[in-house]
Amino acid sequence: MNKLKAGLVGCGNISDIYIKNSACFNTFDIVACTDLNIDSAQQKAAQYNIPKVCGKDAIMKDESIDLILNLTPPSSHAEVALEALHAGKHVYGEKPLAISREEAGIILDTAKSKGLMVGNAPDTFLGGGLQTCRKLIDDGMIGKPVSATAFMMIPGHENWHPSPEFYYQKGGGPMFDMGPYYLTALVALMGPVERVTGSTKITYPVRTISSKPKFGQKIKVATPTQINGVLDFKNGAVASIITSFDTWHHRLPHIEIYGTEGSLSVPDPNEFSGPVYMRRFDEKQWTEQPLSHGFTSNKRGIGIAEFAHAILNGRHPRADGELAFHVLEIMQGIHEASDQQRHYEMSTVCEQPEAFPGGIDEKNFEQLLTAAN
């Protein structure tokens, strides 16, 4: 089949897994790369045999490039996405779509006006673990979802990360850092959200870095580090989510979904595999469920592969910009609801992403997607 030609903008650590996994798919090729540090781009090109290294402007002007893979830092996501769209190119980016609803809205409006597509990470919901959960729900194995819980609770990054300052500045914090994985999973499993509320706080106004090379340096915390949210879904279900950089230890699950006929234990939404556990109303214990879908190893990049297939076949992609915008508004809405002591009514609308065909894997990826189109 035809392939889209992709230009990679941003050659940081996350780019390695995208480049490696691009070889697993036949829907796109990375044909050029760039970075603010051109040495990084040259190293990646040499390591992975990327044909071309050039400046960002040259990539944008290259008429042979169909798609920009935007792996820049979050503060640059909107700028690069808009450059790509104005250059007539589709764009797929890392999470989040942007750092504000206003920027995200401009990206999607621009894409619509130009007849272009926007896709966005995370794509872990396309992995075998979460797709198995989706099939169990769609098959009615736990009945109608009534509620859900989600927990991402750690002590913070200053104990291990070499440069943890960003996580405590505006646009950082546990919700914006890890929330996209949990919220994207919940929307993929239960559909869009209608309103949110929550409470947030800064537990430690100053943090001390205990990792190298910045051991002993102080961080002034400028964003909430404890966020407790409540989500009202369009289907009537209610979910609770906690994201925290203030928790040393806990014994809570990643995600659980509770239905009218049973409960489902969902695996880590930052991973592609299981385990998946289910317990129906008449069962005495939880049982591990066999995974019904492939892509259970680290397949970051499956999102752009599916995105490219959608463009080539004239259909709507699963990891699309509307889903990413919806998740961004949920995160910002929880913070605003806390600040203003009210419920926040969602303004964005997204479709629940279509489930993958059962049994999908690397060998039959394009074939099954095309057949399901």
Task: Give tens-digit pLDDT for 151-207.
Answer: 999 999 999 999 899 899 988 899 999 999 999 999 999 999 999 999 999 999 999
The answer, as to whether pTM is greater than 0.75, is yes
User: Which pLDDT score, from 0 to 100, does residue 44 have?
Assistant: 97
- Per-residue pLDDT tens digits for 278-333: 999 999 999 999 999 999 999 999 999 999 999 999 999 999 999 999 999 999 99
Asked if residue 1 has pLDDT above 60, the reply is no
Quick: pLDDT tens for 14-46.
999 999 999 999 999 999 999 999 999 999 999
- Asked whether 366 and 26 are in contact (CB, 8 A), the reply is yes
**Distance (Å, rounded) from C-alpha 126 to C-alpha 129?**
8
What's residue 220's pLDDT? 98
Measured CA to CA in angstroms, residue 238 lies from 182, 258, 259, 272, 334 at distances of 15, 10, 11, 25, 14
Pair 218, 207: CB distance under 8 Å:
yes
CATH code at 125-288: 3.30.360.10
d(CA 207, CA 166): 12
What's the CA gap between 92 and 70, in Å, rounded?
6
Strand, coil or helix: 129 = helix
**CB neighbours (10 Å) of residue 31?**
20
The structural architecture, per CATH, of the domain 1-120 is 3-Layer(aba) Sandwich (3.40)
Within the chain, all domains assigned CATH 3.40.50.720 are found at 1-120
Task: Provide the residue type at 191 as one letter.
Answer: G
pLDDT in tens, 204-241: 999 999 999 999 999 999 999 999 999 999 999 999 99
Return d(Cα 110, Cα 131) in angstroms, integer.
31
Task: Say what the pLDDT of residue 2 is.
Answer: 85
Position 236, amino acid:
G
40 touches 61 (CB < 8 A): no
d(CA 326, CA 304): 19
For CATH 3.30.360.10, the residue range(s) in the chain are 125-288
Judge contact between 179 and 331, C-beta under 8 A. yes
Paired tokens of 264: 């489902």
Kindly indicate the confidence band of residue 373, based on its pLDDT and cuts at 50, 70 and 90: confident
How many percent of the chain have pLDDT more than 70?
A: 100
As given in the structure block, the two tokens for residue 21 are 């996994």
User: Residue 299: its pLDDT value, please?
Assistant: 96
Task: List 8's β-bridge partners, or say none.
Answer: 33, 69
